[in-house]
Amino acid sequence: MTDIMGSAPVPASRARRSSLMAQDALSKRRNAAEARFKIYGIVAIVIAMLALVWLLISIFSVGLPSFRQTFLTMPIELPADKLDKSGVRDVAVMSKVTTVGYAAVIQAALEKAIKEKGIDVGTMTPKDIAGVISLEAPAQLRNYVLANPELVGTTIDFEVLANGRIDGFFKGRVTMESAQLDSNVKPEQLVLAEKLTEAGIMAKRFNWGFITAPDASDQRPEAAGLGVAIIGSFYMMIVVLVLSLPIGVAASVYLEEFAPKNRWTDLIEVNIANLAAVPSIVFGILGLAVFINFAGLPQSAPIVGGLVLTLMTLPRIIIPARAALKSVPPSIRDAALGVGASKLQSVFHHVLPLAAPGILTGMIIGLAQALGETAPLLLIGMVAFVRDYPGMPLDGFFNPASALPVQVFSWTTRGDPGFVERASGAIIVLLIFLLIMNAVAIILRRRFERRW
């Protein structure tokens, strides 16, 4: 009997096409597209990493030498007949001696040290010999003597900066060939520098002055430091933190938890999002018009820079703070309200603590972005040449100061190669501050993070 319910056998070719164990043409194309996309992603990551490595190598290779400087250490006699003719050791009288008098004292000390070491200077003139010393050295010695007037009449071992071209010679920026074309240094001075190094008078060591000293003139790159810029940036970050944190968190809590949903709140939210994308230089124009021209605050003061950066940072704090509040599950709010808590209590006792990690992270990232801003600070005058340190708070907030990114900009606009090295070194310091701030953000997130 024939089985009428049976079916005709399926061709082998058709069975292979419909098998789950065999890839058809469509599956092969799809798998090939996925493989290509993975390759594209890996290539993009490799290119990004290579670009980052190249950037860091270029910055560190140029900037790391700025943390080491060439110094001359030698006995310096402080003659009373030149530095304190009155003999009463009165600082007010001694301050009348200018750096010219101290330059002669240092030059005499160097010539004496060269003679004692038996160094042959050939046909070099006393002016050429003194040229290996920085123009900042007389001011260094003068400040030291005025701070210690009892040392007049004695001989001290003192350390002074070498000339920037001499320092560049030991760092590879200056060569004998380039010195022949340079009006600021002579090949004979480079030879003398090598002899002074062999005699132990000249040496290269870590330069704390790069961190603590103020800026220097165009003729003294070896003396330029970040002291004023670091203090100015610190003061500005204090202003930004004190103003942006409470204002930003309060605005975020109100908009997310209490504000009614209507056209006005929608308009506010749109404007906050738009302000986060406004170029930073626009905030500089606003600060110049409002805080300086209208309010009469002093130019180049940390208080003005802090106010401008606060306006720029607020949208960047409000947006992540609202996202952190929104990430708290509604069940937390409902449970608090269910046991009798008010709306205010449920927000401040339950929702806000749970959102604290995200809020703190957004705040620190906003501060880090503000720390690296340059354009708005240029418009309010913080690019000015400032030698004096700002005072202690609160007066220091109104004293002239600079900032780290502005100092980088200022040094890159100067012609001496020594300032390019200083600019890269300042970028390294700025990167260190940014890494510290991001590390603090990670620590705070882990410290205050709670599970629900």
Same domain, 184 and 321: no
Residue-wise pLDDT tens digits, 213-271: 999 888 899 999 999 999 999 999 999 999 998 999 999 999 988 888 888 888 888 88
Instruction: Judge whether 410 lies within some domain.
Output: yes
Annotate 270-317 with DSSP letters as a single string.
Answer: HHHHHHHTS-HHHHHHHHIIIIIIIT-PPTT-HHHHHHHHHHHHHHHH
Question: 3-state DSSP: the chain helix, strand, coil percent, rounded to 5?
Answer: 65, 5, 30
Residues 196 and 256 in one domain: no
Maximum Cα interatomic distance, the chain, rounded to a whole number of Å: 140
Is residue 129 situated within a structural domain?
yes
- Is residue 7 included in any domain, yes or no? no
Verify that 425 and 341 share a domain, yes or no: yes
Stronger pLDDT, 86 or 172, i.e. the higher one: 172
Take residue 207 and report the two structure tokens written for it.
């330069």
Do 352 and 402 share a domain, yes or no? yes
For residues 201 and 92, state if they share a domain.
yes
> Do 437 and 311 belong to one domain?
yes
Say if residue 318's pLDDT is above 80: yes
Are residues 232 and 188 part of one domain? Answer: no
Residue 447 pLDDT exceeds 80: no
Asked whether residue 317 is assigned to any structural domain, the reply reads yes
**Of 174, 207, 240, which closes a domain?**
207
Domain hosting residue 127, numbered range: 69-207
> Residues 340-373, buried b or exposed e (16+ Cβ, 10 A)?
ebeeeebbeebbbebbbbbbbbbbbbbbbbbbbb
CATH number for the domain including 366? 1.10.3720.10
Global confidence as pTM: 0.84
How many domains would you assign to the chain? 2
Which stretch of 7-16, 68-77, 314-323 has the lowest confidence by average pLDDT?
7-16
Whether residue 246 is found in the same domain as residue 386: yes
In a domain, 408, yes or no: yes
Average pLDDT over residues 33-47: 94
Asked if pLDDT for residue 6 goes beyond 60, the answer is no
In a domain, 35, yes or no: no
Same-domain status, 192 and 232: no
Q: Which of 144, 174, 207 is the last residue of a domain?
A: 207
In a domain, 221, yes or no: no
